Amino acid sequence: MKRKQHILVLGGLLLALPAYAQDIYKVENMAGSDLNGTARFVGMGGAMSSLGADISVMGTNPAGIGMYRSSDVALSGSVSVQPNAQDFYNRGKSRASFDQLGFVYAARMGDSQMRFVNFGFNYHKSRNFKNFIGVNNFHTGGLSQTLEMLDLSYVSDGWLDLSKEADRGLTTPLTCLGYDTQLLLPVYDEQTGELNGYLPCEANSYNYKRVQWGGIQQYDFNLSFNWNDQVYGGLTFGVYNVDMHSYTDYGEMLVNPGDNSLHEYYLNNEESLSGNGFDFKFGIILRPIEDSPFRLGVAVHTPTYYTLTSDAYLYMNSPFTYGDQNYTDADVSVGDNEYKIRTPWRFNISMATTVGNFLALDAEYEYSDYSSSSISYNTYDSYDWWGGVSGDEKDLALNNEIKRFMKPVSTVKVGAEARISPNLYLRAGYNYVSAPMKKEAYLNLFTASSSYYYSTNTDYVNLGSINRVTCGLGFRGKHFYADMAYQYQRQQGDLYTFHVPETGSEANRLSAATVDLNRHNVMLTIGYKF
């Protein structure tokens, strides 16, 4: 079972760096975003980057705010439902959410060619982490999570002695708890007394439940202009707040080799991630033909620079007894782990037009290469009496995993708005996002990254593409307006609760469990223009 990849243990590595617990799947969480904002924006599938004049476009193409000719304030809320979710860990399948609050102040510049200089602010939830994954009685073909623990106890062509504190620091906390709860049974040479390895367990099936909640809150500050009603430009400065939590229950039915009876072992894993970040967005919209409503838009988003702190707690309980105990259990906490994530650049091109005063159309394409993301750590070196210099040290091994397994993501958006009466509007949209991970991606705990020495999980989900279908209805009065939108999001993923490679290959011997992350969302926006 021993893998031929080796963990490289550098002298003083664990002492020189704080504890980090990140992986490529957390990078995906930070790099992606949901379709969220005002109900008009959502009802058109997020395709408004060239149409503009909606508060939410300051987060896609900042130049769209330059199209405002009057000031605007809007407030939005929604209810999301994941149909196949269960009530778990005090979290239900539906959740109400405060999604957006923003305003635009339109400053008319008089009779000059600079028609308007506009200022705007918008809060919206760029990512809602609320989801549930549940798999019951999934047959493993005899494979067990303890097989990965076994692999993780073999480093640098030798077995770690998990009874020694020094050796325990060279593998994951999960592996150490596997030893503590007698899921890994040490085997010694009777002649020399040397450790020959460990005996893992054989499993029949597993049960898995994971609930996530929290989100990424985005605060955008916008400055934009309108030059002669033909050139619109804008800049948005974005500030982000991260608040992400997860709780996992995992249990295996272990096989007693003596009588083939089944005995359950289970673990609970709690994780939280918090922090903040910032980015800049630049955009321009052109009307190349003066007498035509046709327009073209281009926007560039810098990477988002996140500074994050993670905490984790792992509890494990096995059916094996120790002494006069009826069971064996153990736990561990890993806290205040700090690191940085840099997401990729994002590029958006769009085009839009209107037909009379009764139809508006927008189509756009967005590109972001997730494999260019990176992870780094804060370092601090003292050079003088007054302090020192703080810098970043990249996690080269983990960044190599990002390049291997993450890939460019394309987003396609189309939207339409039809005026069906003087005050009533009907909207529809489609939004497609390609898969962020390669099919063969996995949580590779066998790298030279120090982060994995503090990993409390072995599970991972390779998410598929996202298909979103939206529709909406809007009412416009002289000043007051109200919009409603409905969004259906369809997405599947391949769940692996642990990774045991095929001989001579990195492919997982454990079959994937297909999970659905489909959800429905209903949104309401109320606003006032003046």
Residue 182 sits in a domain whose CATH number is 2.40.160.60
Number of domains in the chain: 1
Polymer length in residues for the chain: 530
Which region among 42-46, 247-251, 293-297, 326-330 has the lowest average model confidence (pLDDT)? Answer: 326-330
User: Any idea what DSSP says for residue 67?
Assistant: G
Summarize pLDDT for 61-87 with one digit per residue, the tens.
Answer: 999 999 999 999 999 999 999 999 999
pLDDT of residue 382 exceeding 90: no
pLDDT of residue 389 exceeding 70: no
pLDDT at 58: 98
pLDDT at 448: 83
* 220 and 154 Cβ atoms separated by less than 8 Å: no
Summarize pLDDT for 107-126 with one digit per residue, the tens.
Answer: 999 878 999 999 999 999 99
CA dist., res. 513 & res. 516, Å (int) = 10
Confidence band of 156 (pLDDT split at 50, 70, 90): confident
Alpha helical stretches, state H, 169-295: 173-180
On average, the pLDDT of the chain sits at 91
pLDDT of residue 350 exceeding 80: yes
pLDDT of residue 17 exceeding 50: no
Average pLDDT on 369-392 reads 71
pLDDT of residue 384 exceeding 80: no
Which one has a higher pLDDT value, 209 or 189? Answer: 209
Summarize pLDDT for 238-250 with one digit per residue, the tens.
Answer: 999 999 999 999 9
- Give strand pairing partners of 297: 285, 350
pLDDT of residue 430 exceeding 50: yes
**129 lies in some domain:** yes
pLDDT at 117: 97
In 3D space, the residue among 131, 93, 95 whose CA is nearest the CA of residue 247 turns out to be 131
pLDDT at 381: 53
Backbone phi, then psi, for 147, in 5-degree steps?
-65, -35
Summarize pLDDT for 192-212 with one digit per residue, the tens.
Answer: 889 999 999 999 999 999 999
**263 lies in some domain:** yes
Summarize pLDDT for 485-501 with one digit per residue, the tens.
Answer: 999 999 999 999 999 99
> How many percent of the chain have pLDDT more than 90?
83
* 307 and 338 Cβ atoms separated by less than 8 Å: yes
pLDDT at 378: 80
- The single residue listed with the structure tokens 């490679």 is 501
Element (H, E) at 454: none
* 60 and 38 Cβ atoms separated by less than 8 Å: no
**1 lies in some domain:** no
pLDDT of residue 164 exceeding 90: yes
At 38, the amino acid letter reads T
> How many percent of the chain have pLDDT more than 70?
93
CA dist., res. 513 & res. 266, Å (int) = 19
At 524, the amino acid letter reads L
pLDDT at 258: 78
Residue 157, sorted as left (phi over 0), alpha (psi -120 to 50) or beta, turns out to be left
pLDDT of residue 132 exceeding 60: yes
Average pLDDT on 498-515 reads 95
**7 lies in some domain:** no
User: Any idea what DSSP says for residue 2?
Assistant: -
pLDDT of residue 21 exceeding 60: no
Q: Which domain holds residue 262?
A: 13-529
pLDDT of residue 456 exceeding 60: yes
Q: Where are the beta strands (DSSP E) in 228-327?
A: 231-255, 262-286, 295-301, 305-318
Annotate 207-240 with b (16+ C-beta within 10 A) or e (fewer): bbbbbbbbbbbbbbebbbbbeeeebbbbbbebeb
**139 lies in some domain:** yes
Whether this model's pTM surpasses 0.85: yes
- Give strand pairing partners of 467: 432, 490
Burial class from Cβ neighbours inside 10 Å (0-12, 13-18, 19+) for residue 95 reads: middle
